[in-house]
Amino acid sequence: MNIGIIGAAGRMGKMLVAAVNLAPGATLAGGTEALSHDAMGQDLGVLAGIGALDIALTPDSDALFAASDVVIDFSSPAITERHAQLAGEHATALVIGTTGLESAQQNALESAAKKTAIVQAANFSIGVNLLLGLVAQAAKVLPDAYDIEISDMHHRHKVDAPSGTALALGHAAAAGRG
């Protein structure tokens, strides 16, 4: 399976490059960032700290979708919207970890999902997804006299606040309460 990484020079992107490199049956198709990114043209493996892979970081998302069976996107909401359109055009599966999408951006994902496989999650951690289920269950059984509070703390460079995980916890609690 050929896997492309959007946001390949970011914190999560570097981890994904390394993971794809180690995954049996997976081939790194490439990685992209914005043209203005300081790492543009650098080797993806070197950026990820795993040694040269002879695959350069590029700004060409269209070419990445054309070369990939699936693209993993941990970028920004506006960029994810464009990637959803490219996924639909190329019939390339898209895995989205980007959070903070507005309704128009979410609508673009839903439109692309009519043409190709889309996987979207606020958090891909098994533990967090287990927690989401537990929060919904707790909210369902606890009386309304119990208040629900979510405290969301991150490093100072966190782009989206509140985080997608905090929002998902809020949605789980609301679903539990009905």
* CA–CA distance, 109 with 87 (Å, rounded to integer): 9
Residues 109, 136, single domain; the answer is no
**Could you state, in chain order, the average pLDDT of each consecutive group of 10 residues for the chain (178 residues)?**
95 94 97 94 96 96 97 90 94 91 90 95 86 93 91 79 82 91
Write down the pLDDT at residue 116: 96
Residues 71, 135, single domain; the answer is no
Structural domain span for residue 93: 2-120
pTM of the model as a whole: 0.81
Helix (H) or strand (E) holding 119: strand 118-120
Residues 31, 115, single domain; the answer is yes
CA–centroid distance for 138 within its chain: 28
Residue ranges in the chain assigned as alpha helix (H): 11-22, 44-48, 61-67, 77-90, 103-112, 126-141, 164-177
The answer to whether residue 115 is catalytic is no
Residues 6, 82, single domain; the answer is yes
Task: Look up the CATH number of the domain holding residue 164.
Answer: 3.30.360.10
* Residue 115: DSSP 8-state: T
67: nearest Cα among 115, 9, 6, 149 = 6
DSSP string, 151-165: -----TT-SSSS-HH
Q: How many other C-beta atoms are found inside a 10 Å radius of the C-beta of residue 95? A: 19
* CA–CA distance, 168 with 145 (Å, rounded to integer): 22
List the catalytic residue out of 90, 114, 140, 158: 158
Residue 50 and residue 18 in contact, taking contact as beta carbons nearer than 8 Å: yes
Q: In the block, which residue shows the tokens 């999650």? A: 121
Residues 157, 141, single domain; the answer is yes
- Cis bond upstream, residue 77 (ω within 30): no
Residues 29, 90, single domain; the answer is yes
List the catalytic residue out of 114, 154, 155, 157: 154
Write down the pLDDT at residue 77: 86
The answer to whether residue 154 is catalytic is yes
Write down the pLDDT at residue 68: 98
CA–centroid distance for 170 within its chain: 19
Among 105, 120, 135, give the residue marking a domain's end: 120
Burial level of 169, CB count in 10 A (0-12/13-18/19+)?
buried
Write down the pLDDT at residue 168: 83
Residue 47 and residue 39 in contact, taking contact as beta carbons nearer than 8 Å: yes
